Structure 1
Amino acid sequence: MEIGVPKEIKNQEYRVGLTPAAVQELVAHGHQVLVESRAGAGIGMSDDDYRQAGAAIVENAATVFAQADLIVKVKEPQPEECLLLRPGQVLFTYLHLAPDPEQARLLMASGAVAIAYETVTDAQGRLPLLAPMSEVAGRMAIQVGAHALEKVSGGAGILLAGVPGVAPGKVAVIGGGVVGTHAARMAMGLGAEVVVLDKSLPRLAELDGLYGPRLKTLYATAEAVETAVIAADLVIGAVLVPGANAPKLVTRAMLGRMRPGSVLVDVAIDQGGCFETSHATTHDQPTYVVDGIVHYCVANMPGAVARTSTFALTNATLPYVLRLADLGWQQALRDDIHLRNGLNVAQKQIAHPAVAAALGVEPTDIMELLA
């Protein structure tokens, strides 16, 4: 099979779909890999690095899309990329279609088969291709939040760690999944006072067992969320409903009761955001202020640490890319229910139930698409 890796064109996106090591694995399986020139420049990988791994270097994305049977990317295709897709071609990348009906419309119109990293599951009910970027984003959330709290960034001028004789900053993490756990770990490492809110008692018990009295855990009632948000200097939105829009858990009314210069970091912004006042930003202009509260809502946070992120992502995606290439998408999805859960669009229809519900359409039975 011919596998294509175009250069990412989303604003400030430096990651790439495959590393040279991943290319070498695919070539060893008998596949051909086309890589757009300078696709790996953002992670310090040259065209020669990809050539030595066995890839063919092509000059532009149009050639990659025209020749490849399977396109492997990182971020959702931009409109001009959607127009390059063709019927039956397989796209494997993050899609986040729930808050993006225009992208969904373009993908359906293309006739391509779109498999989303973020809805692939595993036997434990986890999201193995979302997890590595969630780990990165969770850790980054504290890093960028701490910077946003600085007075020069528009924040209240609070040091999360505090100093002797001065209390540390307060961090509220809404959601105790992968993002929330890594955010809490980083915040505790800095010495902040941290509370995690979640609706899963078993998950709260796990976190309590891991971190003991250093970490406060609260069941996420509406009252508990409001109290924690109002008291916090930094709030991390780490809520995920796979495939669906994130619930709006922090209202605008709450902002008026927070300390001016407090910071909200919405890691759920890819799925529409979990703060009522959130809208997507970029690394060029990452923050904005509403009612005196600084919002950080960058939709591709891990792109800022592209090298770490690309290697972490490729470690997770490579086995699935190999399966799709070795077996073809239909057989690979028939054989693996967890990879099958990644199917979002096929034959100009929406296949994932949660995505379909968010877009207000009826989902198509996946097994019919695979018949």
Structure 2
Amino acid sequence: MLIGVPKEIKDHEYRVGITPAGVRALTDAGHEVLVETRAGERIGFSDELYLAAGARIADSASEAYACPLIVKVKEPQSGEIPLLREGQVLFTYLHLAADPTLTRLLLESRIVAIAYETVSDAAGALPLLTPMSEVAGRISIQAGATALQLANGGRGVLLGGVPGVVPGKVLILGGGTVGTHAAMMALGLGADVTLMDISLPRLRYLDEVFGTRLKTRYSDAYALEELAREADLLVGSVLLPGKRAPKLISRALVKQMQPGSVLVDVAIDQGGCAETSRPTTHSSPTYIEEGVVHYCVANMPAACARSATQALTNATLPYVLAIADKGWKVALKADAGLRKGLNLHLGQVTHAGLASDLELPCISPDIALE
């Protein structure tokens, strides 16, 4: 199969869909890979490395998008949508529930859209979302610590404190992959960390993993309000796969937070978990709303694009190989977890959560594939 890997054009997005090592695996399996020129240049993956791995180099995005299978990182931007054609398979992060306009345009293009973030495994986990959630969770603390500095609008708190000075307070909403890795980083800095979740089994697990270093709290409105008012850094990491993030943090609660405190909304690519959140970019990552510094970058892992690209290819490559080896329809029929990644199919919505959020008709993937 001919696989196209275009250069990402989202603001400061330097990740690339496949590493040279991934290209080598695909070409060894008998497939052709067409990588847009300079797609990985900023993170040390030169055209020469891709050529050495067996890829061909496309001179333009239109050439890369002429392939039957497109493997990339982020959802198509406005300039890329006209390059899509009916029946083409797009394998990437999509986060469509937060973007009805993009959903409509992709439906009109009649492509087959398989979203990394809703592919599942036999245990019900999200194997293609996990690596970027790990990266985003760790970055959330780095970004939050930077935003807390006075020069960036923050209240001037050092998360780890110093001898004789109490450490900063970090509140993490959600104990999934993002929340766990955020806790790991915050504890590593010496912060006072509390993590909230509605799953008691998950809280017990985290208590066993981190011990008394991590405070856990069952998430209810009363506890959230109490802890948010005291937090120096609040990390929102809630997730409903394929659906919009629930708005757990009201504007009224943001008003009650300490002036100069920081809110990092990792859920922003699914619409955000705070009423005051709106997407930002790496070019302009923060804004102040109700006296609180908001960091709401919708492609956070791009800040560490080389590490993120390597982690992403490690996870996606087996699925790319399956689609290329078997053909997309056979691969989807053979793998129930991959089938859950099917969001759009030739002009129809095939993910129930997405359809519910956007109030669109839905057809099951099983029926669509017949």
- Give the TM-score category using the shorter length: over 0.9
**Paired position in structure 1 for 2:295:** 296
The answer (yes or no) to whether the contact 1:120–1:339 under 8 Å persists in 2 is: yes
Q: Deviations over 1:45-68 (max 9, x none)?
A: 1111000101110110101112x1
**Paired position in structure 1 for 2:255:** 256
**Paired position in structure 1 for 2:281:** 282
CA distance in 2, matches of 1:256, 1:120: 37
- Amino acid paired to 1:83: P
CA distance in 2, matches of 1:9, 1:43: 14
**Paired position in structure 1 for 2:19:** 19
Normalising by structure 1, we get a TM-score of 0.99
**Paired position in structure 2 for 1:271:** 270
SS at match of 1:285: coil
Are 1:46 and 2:49 counterparts? no
**Paired position in structure 1 for 2:245:** 246
**Paired position in structure 2 for 1:232:** 231
What's the CA shift for 1:257?
A: 1.6
Alignment of 1:9-158 (within 5 A): 9-66=9-66, 68-158=67-157
Count how many residue pairs are aligned between Structure 1 and Structure 2: 370
CA distance in 1, matches of 2:29, 2:355: 35
- Amino acid paired to 1:4: G
**Paired position in structure 2 for 1:202:** 201
What's the CA shift for 1:164?
A: 0.8
CA distance in 2, matches of 1:223, 1:153: 30
CA distance in 1, matches of 2:272, 2:53: 39
Are 1:330 and 2:333 counterparts? no
CA distance in 1, matches of 2:63, 2:264: 38
What's the CA shift for 1:107?
A: 0.8
SS at match of 1:309: helix
The answer (yes or no) to whether the contact 1:79–1:106 under 8 Å persists in 2 is: no
What's the CA shift for 1:212?
A: 1.2
Normalising by structure 2, we get a TM-score of 0.99
Q: Percent identity?
A: 61
What's the CA shift for 1:80?
A: 2.0
What's the CA shift for 1:320?
A: 0.3
What's the CA shift for 1:259?
A: 1.2
CA distance in 2, matches of 1:318, 1:296: 31
CA distance in 2, matches of 1:357, 1:328: 29
**Paired position in structure 2 for 1:218:** 217
SS at match of 2:97: coil
What's the CA shift for 1:42?
A: 2.1
**Paired position in structure 2 for 1:361:** 360
The answer (yes or no) to whether the contact 1:33–1:56 under 8 Å persists in 2 is: yes
What's the CA shift for 1:82?
A: 1.6
**Paired position in structure 2 for 1:171:** 170
- Amino acid paired to 1:21: A
SS at match of 2:98: coil
- Amino acid paired to 2:203: L
Q: Structure 1: 5+ residue runs without aligned partners?
A: none
**Paired position in structure 2 for 1:312:** 311
SS at match of 1:256: helix
CA distance in 2, matches of 1:46, 1:92: 23
RMSD over aligned Cα atoms = 0.7
- Amino acid paired to 2:347: K
CA distance in 2, matches of 1:239, 1:50: 37
CA distance in 2, matches of 1:258, 1:266: 15
Q: Structure 2: 5+ residue runs without aligned partners?
A: none
- Amino acid paired to 2:164: G
Are 1:348 and 2:347 counterparts? yes
The runs of at least 4 aligned residues of structure 1 exceeding 6 Å deviation read none
CA distance in 1, matches of 2:361, 2:125: 25
